[in-house]
Amino acid sequence: MSFLDATVLQSARFVKELGRGAFGSVDLVEVATPDGSVYAARKTLLVKGGAKRQLTDALTRELRGTFSACRASPFATSLLGISIGAAGHCMYTEFAEGGSLRAHLKRGFVRLPSASEVPQLQMPVSELQKLAFSLLHALSAMNDVGYAHLDIKPDNVLVAGSKYLLADFGNAAELGPNPKVHGLRGSSIYIAPEQWEGQAYGLNADCFSLGVLLAQCAVWPHSPAALVQLIQGQRALPGCVPEELRDFIAALMHTDAATRPSPKEAMKLPFLAGIRMEDCL
Ligand SMILES: Nc1ncnc2c1ncn2[C@@H]1O[C@H](COP(=O)(O)OP(=O)(O)OP(=O)(O)O)[C@@H](O)[C@H]1O
Ligand SMILES: [Mg+2]
């Protein structure tokens, strides 16, 4: 879909609310274009107190982050247009009809037999490979222009048809090639240890978050306590996790940032061997 201009976006018709977060709301809208109507997700950015400058800064930050990813990866939500108005600044992205990964985890990918107490994978390995490949592809595209996402979590991954899309670039930052001190960004358990410690961090801070997300999807979709124990080294992944996935998560979650792979390096680890972009579309 091509970029929609402001006059076309003025006709956007509210359909339903898709989400609500710290910076505003996300609605499904229908937009009438010369080629017919299309659905889009409209994120309205609101800043407490509504200072115009802060609003413009927030929109610029989110736009830069989104563009850094979607210009070179099919696994990031595509930008469809923007509008600036008194009621808030809006950003329009492709609508992911499958909703967020968080909602999928809530519903469950596979059903546990009710009597079974044996832990089993909650998401098939092939799906975990696809998820990891897609997110790393989008992160690599961001990294190519010096950007990190800094808020990888299930709420910010969307499902569109058979694709996983990286979304919500409100925390993205231009870190450049070398680690730098940049303030704490992200969401509690997914944040890399060097960020908590106030140290300089680099583009591979996102890999730590991805490792936590994969452990969550694989075995503990509803147990943040188990994830915290894993992060603190007090718990191991259960035996149902295949060796290559276990090694992959361990590499991503390496507490020493200097040893942790970058998104590009992570794509070359054995867990993703043989996975091609076409398989993830
Ligand atoms: N393009 C989209 N298609 C479908 N659903 C979407 C789309 N964009 C957002 N959503 C839904 O809205 C929710 C919130 O969106 P998003 O993460 O972009 O905003 P946010 O969390 O409010 O932002 P922030 O983290 O900056 O406060 C998502 O978790 C998802 O459920
Ligand atoms: Mg979000």
pLDDT in tens, the chain (281 residues): 678 888 888 889 999 999 987 778 999 999 998 888 999 999 998 766 667 788 888 899 999 999 999 999 999 999 999 998 777 789 999 999 999 999 999 988 655 555 455 578 999 999 999 999 999 999 999 999 999 999 999 999 999 999 999 999 999 999 999 998 888 888 899 999 999 999 999 999 999 999 999 999 999 999 999 999 999 999 999 999 999 999 999 999 999 999 999 999 999 999 999 999 999 99
Nearest to 29 by CA among 127, 38, 20: 38
Q: Residues near 273 by Cβ (< 8 Å), separated by ≥ 6?
A: none
Using DSSP, state whether 152 is helix, strand or coil. Answer: coil
Q: CB within 8 A of 111, min separation 6: which ones?
A: none
Surrounding ion ligand 2 within 5 Å at CB are 21, 155-156, 168
76 touches 110 (CB < 8 A): no
Residue ranges, CATH 3.30.200.20, the chain = 6-94
Tokens of 13: 């018709």
Which ligand 1 atom lies nearest to the CA of residue 165? 1
Please name the residues in contact with 256: beta carbons below 8 A apart, sequence gap of 6 or more: none
In the chain, which segments carry CATH 1.10.510.10? 101-280
* Per-residue pLDDT, 277: 97
* 98 CA: nearest ligand 1 atom: 4
* Token pair 């003025």 in the structure block, residue: 10
Residue nearest to atom 7 of ligand 1 (CA): 41
The pLDDT score that the predictor gives to residue 15 is 98
Give the residue, by CA position, lying nearest to ligand 1 atom 26. 170
Upper half-sphere CA count for residue 151 (Cβ side, 13 Å): 18
Nearest CA to ligand 1 atom 17: 168
**How confident is the model at residue 111, as a pLDDT?**
54
Q: What's the fold here for domain 101-280?
A: Transferase(Phosphotransferase); domain 1 (1.10.510)
Residue 262 Cα to ligand 1 midpoint, Å, equals 26
pLDDT at 72: 96
Q: Which ligand is nearest to the CA of 96?
A: 1
Give residue 185 CA to ligand 2 midpoint distance, Å. 13
Query: Given this model, what pLDDT does residue 118 score?
Result: 55
pLDDT value at residue 10: 83
Residues lining ligand 1, Cβ inside 6 A = 18-19, 21-23, 26, 41, 43, 77, 93-96, 99-100, 155-156, 158, 167-168, 170
Residue ID of nearest Cα to ligand 1 atom 29: 155
pLDDT at 5: 86
Q: In this predicted structure, what is the pLDDT of residue 182? A: 86
Residues in the chain: 281
Query: Rounded distance, CA 208 to CA 259, Å?
Result: 11
Q: In the structure encoding, which two tokens stand for residue 231, read together? A: 């992060």
CA distances to 198, 226, 231, 247, 275 from 236, in Å: 27, 9, 9, 12, 26
The Å distance, Cα 155 to ligand 2 centre, comes to 6
CATH topology of domain 6-94: Phosphorylase Kinase; domain 1 (3.30.200)
Q: Distance from the CA of 118 to the center of ligand 2, in angstroms? A: 33
Q: Which atom of ligand 1 is nearest to the CA of 97?
A: 4
